[in-house]
Amino acid sequence: MEEKKVAPLAEVNEILLARQEEQELTAEQKLALEHCQKFAKLEHKKAKKLLKELGALGFVTEPNAVKITDVMPTHPEDVRVIFAKERANLEKKDVEKILSVVEKYL
């Protein structure tokens, strides 16, 4: 069985561009590539660094780090929406830590 992985738009963009060089993309892959190119806010290397920094905070899960990387929130409310499904509420200081990390990459 194939392992599933959560990936930011920047990484998906890189994967699809590499695959496009090797072979013709399917219609779904072409749509996904177009979506990534429109909505990815960071290049792959920066997205990878941001994911690593968010993970180092200790309280951000990988799926939430990917969402943060894709959305690049600038307001506390945006961060709270990303964590809305989590059982525990984020404290104000945690939200500020996330925003300060994201701010470095804007």
| CATH number of domain containing 78 | 1.10.150.80
- Do residues 23 and 59 share a domain? no
pLDDT in tens, 31-78: 999 999 999 999 999 999 999 999 999 999 999 999 999 999 999 999
Residue 26 belongs to a domain: yes
DSSP character at residue 61? -
Q: Per the structure, how many domains does the chain have?
A: 2
Residue 21 belongs to a domain: yes
pTM as predicted: 0.91
Cβ–Cβ under 8 Å, residues 54 and 60: yes
Residue 81 belongs to a domain: yes
Q: Tell me which residue range forms the domain holding 14.
A: 9-39
Tell me: pLDDT of 1 over 80.
no
C-alpha pair distances (Å), 1 with each of 5, 6, 36, 62, 72:
13, 16, 26, 21, 33
